[in-house]
Structure formats: C-alpha cells, structure tokens
Structure 1
Amino acid sequence: MSITSAIVLYAVLWFMTFLIAIPIRLKTQGDMGEVVPGTHAGAPEHHNLKPKALITTVVAAVMWGILFWIITTGQITVRDFDWMDRLPPVSDGTDG
C-alpha cells in the first residue's frame, strides 16, 4: 500500500466515522425548549464537536490499523470478492 493510499483510506474512515458520530447525543433547540426565532427546532443547541472529533480520530486510527494489516499481509485480496470468476487466472511465472 502506498502512502497516498494509506492517507486516503484514513481520511475516508475518519469522515465516515465522524458523520456517524455527529448525531449521537445531539441536543436540539426543540429538545432544550428554547427555539431561537427564525431557526428550526431541530437546529443543534449543544453539538459537542470537539470530543466527537477526538473520539472519531481514535476509532478511525484503530480501524485503519486493522485494515492496513489486512491489506498489507494479503489476508483478503481482490480475488476473494470475485464471486463470478471474472478475473483471469493467476500466472505462476512459468509461461513460455
């Protein structure tokens, strides 16, 4: 895995995890009973983004480490997902 692939994998994991974590324990203006005029009742009152970003960073790092190990050791390959046998056969290097 190249350095670019590793960075892209971490970024994708981080953003996916962050988008999942944002609505957890979200307090809206409607929940708090203090809706500011001109805003929606579902607008966040307390979003706690800083702790969520920290937790997301740790969780994404753990997931990245597991996936990095799986990819670099070859535990799972593209051929494992070739359920319809469309990939060409693997050459053993003795062609010719």
Structure 2
Amino acid sequence: MDPIAGIAIYFILWWVTLFAVLPWGVRSQHEADNVTPGTERGAPLAPALWKKALVTTFIAGVLWLFVAWLYLYQPISFDDIPFMPDLSAEY
C-alpha cells in the first residue's frame, strides 16, 4: 500500500470512528439536573474528549490494520465484488 494512501485511509477511518464514539457516555446538563446558567440544557456535562480521542485512535488503528490486511493479502479480490451489473449482455 502506498504510504500516502495508507495515511489517507487512516485519516478517514479516524474521523468516521470519532463520530461513532462521541455519543458514548455523554449525559446532558438537563439529564444530570445541573444546568449552568447561560448554556444550552442539552450541552454535555463532561464530554471526556481526550479519552474519546484515545479510544478513537485505537479503534481506527485496528480497523486500518484490517483494511491493510485486505489490501495486501486480498482474501476477497476486487473482481469478486459486483460493483456494476454487466449491461453489455442485454444489448
């Protein structure tokens, strides 16, 4: 795998994973009955972003290893995946 492609794939996996991890364990100020005056009631009480960034980095790393393994060893080749139907057979 080209190093630039590997970095790009990791970057995309990291961001997708981050958006999946962000809601984990979040409680709003309204749910905790601890609304700070002047803030939105639905704002998170303690988002723990550093912890979520570390979890995201680990999960994205594992996913990247899986994608790299698929790319290098090709247990499923791209020819096995039907991307588009063969329309030339109908004409």
TM-score, normalization by structure 1:
0.79
Give 2:72's aligned residue.
72
Greater shift after overlay, 77-86 or 57-66? 77-86
Question: Which is higher, the Rg of structure 1 or of structure 2?
Answer: 1
**What 5-or-longer segments of structure 2 have no aligned partner?**
none
In structure 2, what residue type is equivalent to 1:13?
Answer: L
Runs of at least 4 residues off by over 3 Å: none
What count of residue pairs does the alignment treat as equivalent? 86
**Percentage of matched positions with identical amino acids:** 33
- Greater strand content: 1
Cα RMSD (Å):
1.6
TM-score, normalization by structure 2:
0.83
Distance of 1:10 and 1:28 partners within structure 2: 31
